[in-house]
Every structure is written in C-alpha cells, then in structure tokens.
Amino acid sequence: MSSFYAAETPERVQKAQGLHLITSLTPNGRKVHILLEELKEAYGLEWTTSLIDLDKNEQKKDWFLRLNPNGRIPILIDNNTSPPHVVMESSAELLYLVNLADKNDIFWFSDPIEQSEAFQWLIFWHASGQPNQGQYNFFRNKADQSSLAIDRFKSEVLRVYDVLEIRLSGRYGGGTREYLAGRGKGKYSITDVNAWAWIRNIRRIGFSEDELAQFPYLQQWVDHIAARPAVERGLGEWYDEDMHPELLLETSEL
C-alpha cells in the first residue's frame, strides 16, 4: 500500500480503508456524493471522505496527479483491491459504484435495452451537457454579458436542455417521462444523477423567463429529484470544507 501512494500523499488518504472519496462542492463532486448517499440509504454502503480546496490547487500537486493525471476532482479510491483502484471522471465513478454496490439494480438497469438507453443519456450529458454548461458558467461569471463566448455557450446549453425537454415531454411520441432512462416513464438512475447535479440551478444561471418557459418538463424533473432525502444529503454540509475543515487535505509546499 505504501508503495502505491507517494511519500507526500496525505496520511488521511494513505491510511484510508475501503472506499475513499476525494472531492469538493462542484457539480461533478455533488453527483458522486448523491449516489453514495443513495447507496448508503439502500444498502448501508460506507466510505470515507476527504475534501480539496480547489483554490489552493492541491489537486495539481504531484501526489494527486499520481492518482489522477487530469488533476480534477472527484476521485474515488477503492482500497479493497490490491493495489488500490483509482477511478477518475465522475460519470465513470457512478458506473463503478453501481457495478460494485447496486446489487438489485435500484439505480441502474439489468435489461440490455434499458442499459443502452442509460448509456446514451449518460454519455450525452457528459459529452455535450456539462462541457458546455461549464464553459457557460465560467464566461457568465468572468466575461461581459455581451461577449461572443457567453452567447455561444448559452445557446449550446439551451440546445442541450431542449434535447432533455424533448425526452421528458415526449414531444415526438412515446409519452411523458419522469426520468431519462428506462421503459415507460423511466426509472430514477445514475443517468438522472449525472445531469441533475448540473441542471439543478436552472432557474439561477441567467436564463430569462421566456427561456425558462421552454423547459416545463425539465424543471419538473429538477424539482422531483431535489426532493429525495439522499439528494439533499449529497448537497449538504458534510462535503463543505468550511463546515468540516478536519476533512481538508493540505500538504506543504516543496
């Protein structure tokens, strides 16, 4: 175990047992928090958590890059394997967790057709949704509201949201849906968690009333998922470094 981690890896990480999550309160962090909380409620899953202060760039240090060369959170370390298995990329972490712990497919699917549906919507959001919304969020907060960049990414986010609205509304047939994947009205799954952690702030990211009015079914979906107790816990104070500074990872500068 000691040879797996770098010498400067924080002791809290080196000595962790079982599943260990390194995270922060970002949309990608929140999606993994939510699934872990759901799996705890459903199966009693246990894990430990460490937090990263992204402003201090701890995630860009060598000890972290050894675990995730992309230098992003969250990462999930499974210390039950030898050597420990590190999972980077939040969508991959959701898949790893359901394969590991969701024995009854409460949050995933056993049917191949439903699995195919779920993979499509999981990949759609990871490839088309969160990159565009991430850029929109950045330029919306950093650039002039009339800039070409913010207009470009806002239009892409609206386009992606309309794709989800088409799916949930049944605009082109198939009937209305409660969730993105699964037969009939669908079933709550990691496909929803994956997108919801980003879309939950739909009413607070600079859309006009007319723009929001285009997405009634998507807004209903947001509110429906927000009411789940495990979702509320996944957004909660346990993952806030200000509330739990004892979970914060900080190493000395070299």
DSSP labels, 150-216:
HHHHHHHHHHHHHHHHHHHHTTTSS---SSSSSSTT----HHHHHHHHHHTTGGGSS--HHHHTT-H
Q: What is the mean pLDDT of the chain?
A: 95
pLDDT score of 3: 79
Closest CA to 74 of 66, 84, 64: 64
Measured at the alpha carbon of residue 38, what is the angle toward residues 71 and 131, in degrees to the nearest 5? 35
β-strand 48-51 against 19-23: which pairing, if any? parallel
pLDDT score of 143: 63
**Strand ranges for 24-61 from DSSP E:** 48-51
pLDDT tens digit string along 137-166? 999 988 666 688 999 999 999 999 999 999
On the question of pLDDT at 128 being above 50, the answer is yes
Longest CA span, the chain: 60
pLDDT score of 145: 65
On the question of pLDDT at 254 being above 90, the answer is no
* Phi, then psi, of 231 in degrees rounded to 5: -65, -45
pLDDT score of 27: 97
pLDDT score of 2: 55
The domain ranges of the chain are: 11-105+233-247, 112-228
Q: What CATH number does the domain located at 112-228 have?
A: 1.20.1050.10
Residue 252 pLDDT class (50, 70, 90 cuts): confident
Please compute the mean of the pLDDT values over residues 223-236 and round it to a whole number.
Answer: 97
pLDDT score of 141: 87
β-strand 75-78 against 48-51: which pairing, if any? unpaired
pLDDT score of 1: 47
Tell me the three state secondary structure of residue 85. Answer: strand
Neighbours of 250 (CB within 10 A): 12
Full-model pTM: 0.95
Name beta bridge partners: 112. Answer: none
Q: Distance between CA 120 and CA 139 in Å, rounded?
A: 28
Please compute the mean of the pLDDT values over residues 169-187 and round it to a whole number.
Answer: 97
pLDDT tens digit string along 2-40? 579 999 999 999 999 999 999 999 999 999 999 999 999
Q: What CATH number does the domain located at 11-105+233-247 have?
A: 3.40.30.10
Give the whole-number percent of the chain exceeding pLDDT 90: 94
pLDDT score of 183: 97
